[in-house]
Structure 1
Amino acid sequence: MCVPGCEEAVLKRLSRRGLFKGFGAVTAAGFAATAVPGVAAAQAPARSFSKVVDLTHTMSPDFPTFFGVPGIEMQKQFDFKKDGFNLYWWRIIEHAGTHMDAPIHFSEAGATIDKIAADQLVAPLAVIDISAKAAADVDALVTVADIEAWEKAHGKLPDNCVVAMNSGWDKHVTTPKFMGKDAGGVLHFPGFSAEAAEFLIKNRTVRGMAVDSASLDHGPSKDFKVHYMWLPSGRFGLECVANLGAVPPVGATIVVGQPKVKDATGGPSRILALV
């Protein structure tokens, strides 16, 4: 328990730069056994940060899902006035709210979420902004050309990074536009192209992919090529990410607090960016 004011005092005493130097020392032995194939172990450089951006939507029964049913149901089992404490039972869909897709989600023998090593969950964050394109086309895609344009402006993607799509779609999360279902039942929202996913797998050392929409594949997809390409390669995906517009294109660090549940294919996650 921390009395009022103690958190601020502790933060003042802890040098952020020192914290990241310590993290670099901890990870100097290399990334763990479940590291992504082709993604080399690397000692984390010393980093500093001045703010924390929450990349997580608040989970509730109203959050939109592919299945059209609540992603979480909460039943209060104990009440403070009656029982002396509060406690809910949850019934939850793994892939609802801001969440992680583990490799097993779209593969026969990929890693389950509990097998993703902790040092894979802290990484450089590269944010590709396609918000103007998505404003004009609800089915917009991150393309190889978008990646190349980003690299022309900011340099080559950092090794072992997470590449995120900022389409501005998070602002629609409380409206029907977030899923974009039309009269024929087809969904409409932005995502990554299969060609971009293939380019990242073959030509860059990328650890994860993140989107601010409901899926790595854009809404109209029926074959989920990006999922079937990206996740079986041993990499993870992050969906329904929030506030990417508050993060710079390069220089931030992403921290993924995913649930460590045995054999799970994914799970709602608390995701932060250190800027």
Structure 2
Amino acid sequence: MCVPGCQEVVARRLSRRGLFKGVAGAAAGAAVFSAFPPPRAAQAANVSFTRAVDLTHALGEDFPTFFGKPQLQMERTAEFSKDGFNMYTWHLAEHTGTHLDAPLHFSADGASADELSMEQLVVPLAVVNVREKAAADADYQLSVEDLKAYEAAHGDLPSGGCVAMNSGWGAYVADDKYRNADADGAMHFPGFSKEACLYMMEKGVVGMASDTLSLDHGASKTFDTHYTWLPSGRWGLECVAGLDEVPAKGATLVVGAPKIKGATGGPSRVLALV
């Protein structure tokens, strides 16, 4: 079954001529990105689903953050017993909880969250499982070899779609292992390698999703994955939940990204239609 309007959105999901507004200005970066033309539109198709999986962690003031400090404060500004209604004012950093990284986040003039079209945010989803490797090495980086192994088992990565890394890290969101910081403050959790980014760009993938705090692995100091992926006009999701409940292939990702003018990203309600 499909909610009203869903099939029409999914059928239009790969109209992507405006996707590459945010190409980096640096000459070296431009040379890299010019090797990857915009993804070709996929054949429109009716899509149905039997269940929806919520890939979103509940966001509270104690949710773990990249910088180790709270990034959400909720100030009560109305109370039902006194005012007849409830309301809070949020003091919120854009990149907290399950959230979107828009191209603007790591580029000078990339597309902001509100400039990502609806068609760019309803896409095929591939889930690459690296749980065993991440359990053995907290600094593991999803590799080109992992992507090729996925393709050997499930077919090509979805052109115009999203690739999600299932490292198993979502299970740690309620404890210190989610950040996994050492005595020097360096964090240790999995992420995508730069080489994997380039391979996905070659394949026409437009979104990546991580179940950790970052698209890069936690110990990164140079953020090569962010600087490779986002300035090319692509988007990312961080702190994704529930990937164990989604098949490796066949789901449709729906990203409820914030439509706030000029935002570099923001907390999002993310669903997989299975």
Determine if the TM-score, normalized by the shorter chain, exceeds 0.5: yes
Q: CA 1:21–1:243 in 2, change beyond 3 Å: closer, same or farther?
A: closer
After TM superposition, the score normalised by the length of structure 1 is 0.90
Residue 168 of structure 1 corresponds to which residue in structure 2? 168
Paired residue type of 1:22: E
Q: CA 1:273–1:21 in 2, change beyond 3 Å: closer, same or farther?
A: closer
Structure 1: distance between partners of 2:76 and 2:48 = 41
> Runs (4+) of structure 1 moved beyond 6 Å?
none
- Which is worse superposed, 210-219 or 37-46? 37-46
Structure 2 unmatched runs, 5+ = 21-36
Structure 1: distance between partners of 2:68 and 2:107 = 24
Write the mapping of 1:88-237 to structure 2, written as runs, cut at 5 A.
Answer: 88-201=88-201, 203-237=202-236
Q: 1:35 aligns with which of 19, 25, 33?
A: 19
Query: How many aligned positions are there?
Result: 258
Instruction: State the SS of the aligned residue for 1:227.
Output: helix
Residue 29 of structure 2 corresponds to which residue in structure 1? none
Instruction: State the SS of the aligned residue for 1:206.
Output: coil
Instruction: State the SS of the aligned residue for 2:266.
Output: strand
Q: CA 1:109–1:23 in 2, change beyond 3 Å: closer, same or farther?
A: closer
Structure 1: distance between partners of 2:156 and 2:209 = 18
The Cα of 1:137 is off from its aligned counterpart by: 0.7
Structure 1: distance between partners of 2:65 and 2:151 = 33
Paired residue type of 2:122: V
The Cα of 1:121 is off from its aligned counterpart by: 0.5
Structure 2: distance between partners of 1:255 and 1:21 = 12
The Cα of 1:180 is off from its aligned counterpart by: 0.7
After TM superposition, the score normalised by the length of structure 2 is 0.90
Residue 250 of structure 1 corresponds to which residue in structure 2? 249
Structure 1: distance between partners of 2:7 and 2:198 = 34
Structure 1: distance between partners of 2:228 and 2:55 = 25
The Cα of 1:21 is off from its aligned counterpart by: 4.3
Structure 1: distance between partners of 2:10 and 2:268 = 24
Residue 262 of structure 2 corresponds to which residue in structure 1? 263
Structure 2: distance between partners of 1:187 and 1:48 = 40
Structure 2: distance between partners of 1:21 and 1:58 = 27
Q: CA 1:92–1:200 in 2, change beyond 3 Å: closer, same or farther?
A: same
Paired residue type of 2:232: S
Q: Could you tell me whether the CA contact under 8 Å between 2:10 and 2:122 is conserved in 1?
A: no
Residue 239 of structure 1 corresponds to which residue in structure 2? 238
Residue 16 of structure 1 corresponds to which residue in structure 2? 2
Paired residue type of 1:255: V
User: Based on CA coordinates, which of the two structures has the bigger radius of gyration?
Assistant: 1
Q: CA 1:246–1:222 in 2, change beyond 3 Å: closer, same or farther?
A: same
Q: CA 1:87–1:255 in 2, change beyond 3 Å: closer, same or farther?
A: same
The Cα of 1:217 is off from its aligned counterpart by: 0.4
Paired residue type of 2:150: W
Instruction: State the SS of the aligned residue for 1:163.
Output: strand
The Cα of 1:67 is off from its aligned counterpart by: 2.1
Q: Could you tell me whether the CA contact under 8 Å between 1:210 and 1:239 is conserved in 2?
A: yes
